[in-house]
Structure 1
């Protein structure tokens, strides 16, 4: 069997590490039924600190194809990826194309495969923010509809697909749990202290979503809140290159106690998660990683795909409002959230995914 894996962004590298490891384990145990994995890296995240370091740290097999498609608008980027991925799929003739999450790389890979009548397996299927202004929402909805196997990370994701009528489609909807939980369990003991100096107590923050970075008022509100919060506790913020450029271009005021650091690798991020007081982010993946690390999360968005975390009091949505961010920070000091629920499986999602792919070949 041959699987073509398509990845292009940081969260996908983390998920791919779990699946590649499951494929390796399968091949060791079943040498006569080995799976040949061919990896396409679209280049959507091209900064070494957001790409190469993940392959090195997490022992992900080096990409067989590196497309270097980045820094373009959504249409141009998706179109270029679609064109180049299609050429590779025609040459490789895989049994399955495996895509992750909700990026332009995800949609391009799924479209290329479906038009060539190649089966598509979508890891992290069924997530919905119900905000059609988000490019990610469009990507995930379209990818789900043209996928053969829909690997859901939670029961909520399964229910979303059922409400959309997927019980009437030929695709298989399967709740396997979250591969990012697999990865966290596997790598947690390998967490690596960053080379930069850390405060003893700090908040871990990230800001990169288009709805915040493309709206300068949102960005100013968020950093104004950070400037207030750092009078009590420092904020450590691994800065996305695009966010950094926008902040500099617009002369956004940033306190010197907001510690802007370069993007970090996965093992360093695990260390930051393990040692921070709480997390503030507009990232989808980091919300879950905060939960896996048993840290309260203040989400700088109006909605989230991970509704279980909000409903169970370990995550709060505040948008980009300075007053709401500060209010949530003050409230978090008194909270004692429960992290003992298992919303996302038992850490065996990746092996289940490989078993289902073999079963439904």
Structure 2
């Protein structure tokens, strides 16, 4: 695994691994968060030992970056790891709306414009640093290139490689919900790290062979995000009408989540604790990052993260066909 990325992320390591603060909620994803609540959330995360912070221009049209930077600038730059993303420039909206139309509760006077060119990437980073009030970020991701156009990932990575070669950033990668094409990009040595959303969790193992295996082979770090499956795995028992992948969970997936929750209960472990621990069983996964919108959520997520999850839980989930055996090969007595 890429030494630089692991060394960076390990600044925030506990006995259970590395957990990072994901910045989407601080950009008012789905619903507003006050400036005061956002500030107290970042402060609480810092006080509890979190040292990896992730954000993006996309999150609230720059709001997340501004809020996160306002708190992180209180600390020495070498005390934390920060990642942001490129690919969406934030520009004036020629047809202003009352509200943003991309999931964030912010004014719609600005909008996003895809741009993975060297000029666009350099501009995006420059504007991110201005919003953050900082002089550097550690990790820079090409954000959702699969949603832009064919070839956007490679164009973005070529632009990022120039910045890395110039010493502007320490590590580069892709942040995405899609596994398509990642194996080739990993095998060609184009990335140091992949931030993978929703494709490696207790409910979705699609990245196991398509991304995690080649990443481990190539020494590429993976940061797993979306480990709560956008809500379904965030409570001890899946709540009625809980969300899965940003929409109401269907009956089949809700039943599967409940089966996992029941096995967790048999081992005196809550479902969110297992959801946080599961990705870190794989040697390719260097960290998980979780969106947190309040000090209470910081405390709750860390309580779950610090739970000791017994190997027997993973063995039972494998035996019931709920997770693949290959996902828990690091547990010595897991069945093969």
Q: Report the TM-score when normalising by structure 1.
A: 0.35
Structure having the larger proportion of residues in helix: 1
Structure having the larger proportion of residues in strand: 2
